[in-house]
Structure 1
Amino acid sequence: MTKLLLSLHVLAAVLAVGPVTVAASMFPGALRRAHSAPGDREQVAGLRTLHRICRVYAGIGIAVPAFGFATAGSLDVLGNGWLITSIVLTAAAAAVLGLLILPAQDQALTAAQASGPGPALPPAARLALLTGVFNLLWATVTVLMIVRPGSTTGA
């Protein structure tokens, strides 16, 4: 059962977190292009698509910690420091995505869709920074999951 849970955890991470990291990373560039070509429907459609990918896959991403907790329980490693650190970093990544990135993308999309003078687009640089932090948190979690300090696997 542990192997099945671990497989589902890894698959959920790849299939849910991967698209969010890519789409969120692409959003600031698309925002810059939309800002330089106001009224361009294709640019706005691109922003809309990237934001939808981020929103939908963020929701699907809840499966990652769910399978992770099940796997950790079956491996009896819930109290290990590397896992607790990974849980905290995962929660931080989720907070950055849900509380900072997605609302900023939503605001940018609303501004880009507004006809005539509307609210200013949020700075793409801030979104790029937030996305970089999100991606760095996930990269750190990935390394912790593989290296597992104190592991006897020789990794």
Structure 2
Amino acid sequence: MTKFLLSVHVLAAIVAIGPVTVAASMFPATARRTLAASDAGRDLAVLRSLHRICRVYAAVGIVVPVFGLATANSLGVLGDAWLITSIVLTAAAAGVLVLLVLPRQQHILAAVPGPGHPNPRPDERGPARLAMYTGMFNLLWAAVTVLMIVRPGSTTGA
């Protein structure tokens, strides 16, 4: 059962978290281009798609910690420091995504000129701030990934 839980955990991390990190990383550069363009039609569609990918896969990403905790329970490592640190970093990454990245993406989307709002006033520093928060999100996930591989105190010798 542990192998099944671990397999689902790893697959969910690859399938759910991977697209969020890529789409969130692409959003700020596309937003800069879109806000600078006189005709934002195609780039606006790309921005909307990237935002939708981030929202949907963030929701799907709930599977990752659920199966991670189930795997940790079956391995008997729930009290290990590396796992507790990973849980805290995962919660921080989720917080950055839900509280900083997704709302700022939505704010930038609202600032793009279009049929519903022809002359909005875009925040010129918005994409740069979003890139910073996205970088924080990605670094937190990278740290969790390293902890999952290295697992301090592991008997695997890794």
Fold-level similarity (TM above 0.5): yes
Alpha-carbon distance in structure 1 between the residues aligned to 2:47 and 2:77: 41
Whole-angstrom CA distance in 2 between matches of 1:20 and 1:46: 15
Q: Decide whether the 8 Å contact of 1:44 with 1:113 is kept in 2.
A: no
Tell me, in whole angstroms, the C-alpha distance in 2 between the residues paired with 1:48 and 1:107. Answer: 12
How far, CA to CA, are the matches of 2:154 and 2:137 in structure 1? 26
Please, which moves more after superposition, 110-119 or 139-148? 110-119
Look up the equivalent residue of 2:59 and give its one-letter code: G
List alignment gaps of at least 5 residues for structure 2.
Answer: none
Q: Partner letter of residue 122 of structure 2?
A: A
Question: Gapped runs of 5+ residues in structure 1?
Answer: none
Alignment partner, residue 153 of structure 2: 150
Question: Which amino acid in structure 2 is aligned with residue 146 of structure 1?
Answer: I
The answer for the alignment partner of 1:65 in structure 2 is 65
- 1:148 aligned partner, one-letter code: R
Task: Determine the structure 2 residue equivalent to 1:79.
Answer: 79
Q: CA deviation at 1:103?
A: 0.2
Task: Flag as ranges the 4+ runs of structure 1 deviating above 4 A.
Answer: none
TM-score under structure 2 normalisation?
0.95
Between stretches 15-24 and 34-43, larger displacement belongs to: 34-43
Q: CA deviation at 1:38?
A: 3.6
Distance 2:80 2:113 in 1: 48
**CA positional deviation for 1:119:** 3.3
Equivalent in the alignment of 1:119: 121
Q: Give the alignment of 1:89-104 within 5 angstroms.
A: 89-104=89-104
Structure 1 residue 120, shift from structure 2 partner: 1.7
Q: Work out the CA distance in 1 between the residues paired with 2:82 and 2:52.
A: 33
Give the match for residue 110 of structure 1: 110
- Which residue is equivalent to 2:139? 136
**Can you list the C-alpha shifts for 1:69-98, whole angstroms capped at 9, x where unaligned?**
100000000000000000000000000000
- Please give the alpha-carbon distance, in whole angstroms, between the structure 2 residues aligned to 1:151 and 1:80: 10
TM-score by length of 1: 0.97
The Cα offsets for residues 14-67 of structure 1, whole Å up to 9 and x where unpaired, read as: 000000000000000000110110442101001000000000000000000000
**CA–CA distance in structure 2, aligned partners of residues 101 and 58 of structure 1:** 11
Identity of aligned residues (%): 65
Distance 2:99 2:29 in 1: 21
**TM-aligned CA deviation for residue 109 of structure 1:** 0.6
